[in-house]
Structure 1
């Protein structure tokens, strides 16, 4: 459907595309992909996460083509992803083996392995540094050298010297039988990039949809669940950030082949959160007792707010009763998909001449009828 009444038809559409391209190049400056990767890593990671494709150079190119529009860049990434052939399925990633560069717990002050603040804006003043406007390539190199020398004198682990393995905070809580047990689901995960959403959705679908959902939507709905439009008000048991290895089985390998037989493809950055929510459960003797539910979040990249919100919604969507929208699978999972939401909202810009004329005629008839009744 197009704007058939627009003078020129196809020529007008072609011209509109030329106008958007002219807008991109009007400044006369070429922003190369390496600069985007280096200076805007978190933007690139968001596009990769929501686009369900870990390909930094492609994501940076999409950001450039979209002139910085996240929703357009994600759309481009998903469109590109749909053209790729899937050759292998990776082995299950074990986040216990994460190379951690940041790891905190809001539940305990002292944790085995220690709290590692790592790189975070949590303690910054959020004041704009106007001197960055005059930054040069030389000043950036000098600043990088200065920081490297300063950090070399600290005990803070920095890549590639991140901690290879740290124990989980939840291990202690499980050892004292304070973590509520959920039935183990050993069914094959459903791939939502190949299978349409249906409800009730298995947990594999819930976690996939949350992980690749529109970042701001996941955070907003998670916030709503915490504010009172849900039953989940968590304590972050553990947040860990780092890189995990991606491996595939050797071609022709038998099932359950030894770990050393796998092919290492590379590592991807992830952020993992295990949130704790106090809940009541009934034990084997029929007695009520307090226990801890665990909400789980894992996102590609370093967006901690999204991972925490994901853990909140993971817990919310496992509720037995749906008293709030944040516990309704269809409400949450449909509305956090950025491409779906953008597409539906954007379609409102397309011609609706016939349907609107019908509504207008109906409204005019109603007004006329009421006017006739008033005259009578």
Structure 2
């Protein structure tokens, strides 16, 4: 409790009341509803859901309203609420192979089987291209029986053994690690790293991805494929013995394609970076996939010489809730700590001047002239 300020708890209550008043804005204007936030700020809502590890557009919108648009505060609120929810188990791994995209683009092949699906995007608002990708067929006009086939770019490369195999986890494997319930232990498995990156701060991951692209990480990839669409979530109930559908959620999936020149034991091929996020989160998924590949440096015997390749550095500092708490706790009282350092600095300062006062003067004949120094 921050009771050091004048007024104690009453001052804190007044601060909260003032915050609510200022956050409301002009009372003569209609209040922004949760439905408006969820419907008109979809990209921001997607970020809060992804970093808050909870898919619920309505709750994420409500958190944003309470936080006055502060994304990190909204993420904190959503994570706090998430900890109160009962845990029934884990859903089945999402099958994104046949993900029917609202948006599907690739920067690797112009004439992509199934076509490019531009969808709703800002990509061409502020950019001029000599030749933009052509829009593919509208999937909404097709039924499940005649939906246009859109194979993965990675599968096209894999057919010719030009990309590393896509490792599918064994469905009978042990229960996956859960970073929200278990302490972080280094080194981590790739699955654990992907969990951490999915919850990581978008801005931090974007900066790391940019650093890797500029040479501080030896990763300058191609966007193999980016898909945005809805996918079904299934839960395997033990008492039933088979998975049951829980509903559909919107996700963004990104696969980056990276060159690997080969080694004494491996031929030259392309390698993968993977990113997945809730809702429309292309920037986050792309940044995540670049950082994922950079963190796989040891798998390919690459030198680890940049921050983006250092697993402990990336994972330990990518969580924005932890980072926010550690930075913002500096606003809380640190009177005792500061007084201790103040005493130390004063003593060291006094000792320095005492040494200067008792220092023997340098004889004048040993002090060089300006001409001697210039010579």
Q: TM-score range by the shorter chain?
A: 0.7 to 0.9
**Structure possessing the higher relative contact order (Cα contacts under 8 Å, 6 or more residues apart):** 1
Aligned partners of 1:66 and 1:73 also within 8 Å: yes
2:155 aligned partner: 171
Residue of structure 1 equivalent to 2:22: 23
Residues 267-293 of structure 1: CA distance to partner in whole angstroms, max 9, x if unpaired? 1111111111111334xxx56632111
**CA offsets 1:79-134 (integer angstroms, 9 cap, x no match):** 000000012421121001212111111111112111111111111138xxxxxxxx
1:253-332 matches, cutoff 5 A: 253-254=240-241, 257=242, 262-282=243-263, 286=264, 289-320=267-298, 321-332=303-314
- Determine the C-alpha separation between the residues in 1 that align with 2:338 and 2:104: 55
Conserved 8 A contact 1:118-1:157: no
Kindly provide the CA deviation profile for residues 181-206 of structure 1, in whole angstroms up to 9, marking residues without a partner as x: 48776454211111121110111111
Rounded Cα–Cα distance in structure 2 between residues aligned with 1:164 and 1:91:
26
Cα 1:179–1:218, aligned 2, differ >3 Å: closer, same or farther?
same
The reply on whether 1:356 has 2:317 as its aligned counterpart is no
Alignment match, 1:334? 316
Is there any run of 5+ residues in structure 1 with no aligned partner, and where? Answer: 127-153
Check the 8 A contact 1:96/1:166 in 2, yes or no. Answer: no
Pair 1:160–1:177, CA change in 2 (3 A) = closer
Residue 158 to residue 44, structure 1, CA distance change in 2 (3 Å) = farther
Structure 2 residue runs without a partner (length 5+): 128-135, 359-375
Aligned to 1:32: 33
Residue 364 to residue 159, structure 1, CA distance change in 2 (3 Å): farther
Cα distance in 2 between the residues matched to 1:122 and 1:357: 53
Aligned to 2:354: 372
Aligned counterparts, 1:51-200, within 5 A: 51-125=52-126, 155-157=137-139, 166-181=150-165, 186=170, 187=173, 188-200=175-187
The correspondence of residues 161-240 of structure 1 with structure 2, limited to 5 A, is 166-181=150-165, 186=170, 187=173, 188-240=175-227
State the Cα deviation string for residues 340-365 of structure 1 (Å, max 9, x = none): 11111110101111111111111111
Q: Secondary structure at the match of 1:238?
A: strand
Distance 1:287 1:197 in 2: 32
Partners of 2:167 and 2:138 in 1: CA distance: 39
Cross-structure match for 2:365? none
User: Which residue pairs with 2:236 in the alignment?
Assistant: 249
**Aligned-partner Cα distance in 2 for 1:184–1:272:** 16
Following the alignment from structure 2 to structure 1, what is the Cα–Cα distance between the partners of residues 143 and 229? 11
Task: Name which of structure 1's ranges 102-111 and 286-295 shifts more when overlaid on structure 2.
Answer: 286-295
What SS does the aligned partner of 1:244 have?
A: strand
CA contact (8 A) 1:3 1:351 kept: no
TM-score after normalising by structure 1: 0.84
Distance in 2 between residues matched to 1:287 and 1:11, nearest whole Å: 69
Indicate the RMSD between aligned Cα atoms, in angstroms. Answer: 2.2
Mapped to 2, the partners of 1:374 and 1:161 lie a distance apart of 87
1:369 deviates by 0.7
**Cα distance change, pair 157–184 in 1 and its aligned pair in 2 (3 A):** closer
